[in-house]
């Protein structure tokens, strides 16, 4: 894989006609070390956020030993990439064949569920194994998060007692897990969810060995600047310590976005300008799925050798396909004199950008290049509180 110092160096040297993914391994290592060293429990990476084998290896080498897998394909991927990792199958609805392969072939011992029917499926598929860690998923509020995960999975705390009691009988270790939604903007999301955990434990009167607070840990985007992650960890730890659980109970979390968002950005070329609309060579069916379909705003910078004196203005993007849905409304702030042939770096695309890419209309991923400069924004650097002061990258 090629290496350049920065997006500007790459654009100047190569003038690439295809989008280029810029990878920052040092940013992923820094994020991993932060969670490993500061989270008061076990941090397991949510593979769905970015399943790149290179990234999985980086996280493993940086101390992440547990991986949250959501499909048998992810189980197989992590098992062959980091064979010594601990895999936790945290999707609450799984095919019986997937459970059996995960258990007997890949050594998976941790499974989540939210119904007695799923519990029975796990027991059948594992032939009534006696070494299971079973995590019952509660439904909690996503009110404090930018993307809800409160509808599809989870049993209400008031209805959880039968599931918890049945799982306690089948499990070697019983856990409770939840997910507050993606991009939780306040630690209160977790402390309020922990109150639901408390209510479920009290109602079921079971001994709980694991509390898994799931994902939702935020990254920084335009208009979404969260508090420091230390504040989340402190609030979670305090709530965990007050729960009526086993004295040796473990605390887990499942960061996805927070571990990989800063790992990658995208260098795109402007092919056409139409007023406040820029036609670029990647889009909704590429790495910008979230920008198109959920209105996510990513940081953007004009990559140009000569500085621009023009004021910033709001632009929207059209991607390269023939589909009207290939549209990213933004707004994306860029200098007013931007035009065809200019390059733009779009930041914080390590999470979900690469994972959601398709080959629709023949527009596929371009080259990936390692760069050693800093991501546009970071929650992990000492100067993380500083904001980007300019939307132009120049020499």
pLDDT over 50 (residue 386) = no
β-pair type (3-4, 368-371) = parallel
307 and 247 in one domain? no
Q: Identify the H or E element spanning 393.
A: strand 392-393
288 and 255 in one domain? no
User: Mind listing the pLDDT tens digit for each residue in 129-186?
Assistant: 999 999 999 999 988 888 877 888 899 999 999 999 999 999 999 999 999 999 999 9
36 and 121 in one domain? yes
296 and 155 in one domain? no
367 and 224 in one domain? no
289 and 226 in one domain? no
State the CATH number of the domain containing residue 279.
2.40.37.10
221 and 267 in one domain? no
Q: SS3 string of 211-233?
A: EECCCCCCCCECCECCCCHHHHH
Q: Which of 260, 278, 304 is the last residue of a domain?
A: 260
Work out how many domains the chain is built from and give that number. 2
pLDDT over 60 (residue 387) = no
211 and 188 in one domain? yes
What was the pLDDT predicted at 297? 93
Q: Is 66 helix (H, G, I), strand (E, B) or coil?
A: strand
106 and 39 in one domain? yes
State the CATH number of the domain containing residue 230.
3.20.20.10
Q: Is 310 in contact with 336 (CB distance < 8 Å)?
A: yes
Region 103-118 average pLDDT: 98
What was the pLDDT predicted at 384? 47
195 and 135 in one domain? yes
Q: Which of 260, 278, 303 is the last residue of a domain?
A: 260
Contacts of 301 (CB under 8 A, 6+ apart): 7, 334, 344, 345, 347, 376, 388, 390, 391, 392, 393
Q: Which of 197, 225, 260 is the last residue of a domain?
A: 260
Q: What angle do CA 91, 94, 97 make, to 5 degrees?
A: 140
308 and 190 in one domain? no
pLDDT over 70 (residue 366) = yes
pLDDT tier for residue 383 given thresholds of 50, 70 and 90: very low
Domain encompassing residue 232: 26-260
Closest CA to 32 of 260, 228, 187, 232: 260
| Tokens, residue 136 | 């019952």
Give percent of the chain with pLDDT exceeding 90.
82
What was the pLDDT predicted at 144? 87
């Amino acid at each position: 894989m090629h290496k350049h110092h920065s997006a500007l160096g790459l654009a100047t040297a190569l003038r690439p006609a295809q989008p280029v993914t810029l990878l920052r391994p040092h940013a992923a290592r820094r994020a991993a070390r932060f969670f490993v060293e500061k989270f008061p429990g076990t941090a397991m990476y949510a593979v769905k956020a970015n399943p790149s084998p290179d990234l999985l290896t980086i996280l493993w080498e940086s101390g992440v030993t547990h991986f949250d897998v959501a499909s048998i394909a992810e189980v197989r991927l992590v098992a062959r990439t980091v064979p010594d990792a601990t895999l936790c199958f945290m999707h609450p609805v799984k095919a019986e064949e997937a459970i059996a392969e995960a258990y007997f072939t890949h050594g998976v011992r941790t499974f989540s569920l939210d119904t007695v029917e799923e519990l029975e499926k796990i027991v059948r598929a594992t032939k009534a194994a006696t070494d299971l860690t079973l995590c019952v998923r509660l439904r909690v509020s996503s009110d404090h998060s930018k993307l809800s995960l409160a509808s599809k999975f989870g049993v209400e705390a008031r209805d959880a007692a039968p599931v918890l009691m049945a799982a306690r009988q089948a499990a070697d270790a019983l856990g409770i897990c939840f997910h507050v939604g993606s991009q939780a903007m306040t630690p209160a999301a977790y402390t309020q969810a922990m109150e639901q955990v408390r209510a479920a434990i009290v109602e079921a009167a079971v001994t709980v060995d694991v509390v898994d607070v799931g994902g939702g840990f935020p990254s920084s985007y335009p208009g979404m600047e969260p508090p420091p992650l230390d504040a989340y960890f402190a609030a979670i730890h305090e709530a965990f310590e007050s729960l009526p659980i086993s004295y040796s109970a473990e605390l887990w979390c499942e960061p996805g976005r927070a571990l990989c968002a800063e790992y990658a950005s995208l260098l795109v070329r402007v092919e056409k300008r139409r007023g406040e609309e820029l036609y670029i060579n990647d889009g909704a069916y590429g790495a910008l799925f979230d920008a198109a379909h959920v209105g996510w705003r990513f940081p953007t910078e004009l990559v140009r050798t000569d500085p621009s004196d023009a004021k910033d203005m709001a632009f929207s993007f059209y991607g390269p396909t023939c589909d009207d849905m290939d549209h990213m409304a933004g707004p994306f702030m860029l200098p007013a004199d931007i035009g065809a042939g200019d390059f733009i770096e779009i930041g914080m695309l390590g999470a979900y950008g690469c994972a959601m890419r398709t080959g629709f209309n023949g527009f596929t991923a371009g080259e990936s290049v390692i760069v050693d400069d800093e991501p546009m924004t970071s929650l992990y650097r000492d100067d993380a509180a500083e904001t980007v002061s300019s939307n132009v990258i120049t020499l």
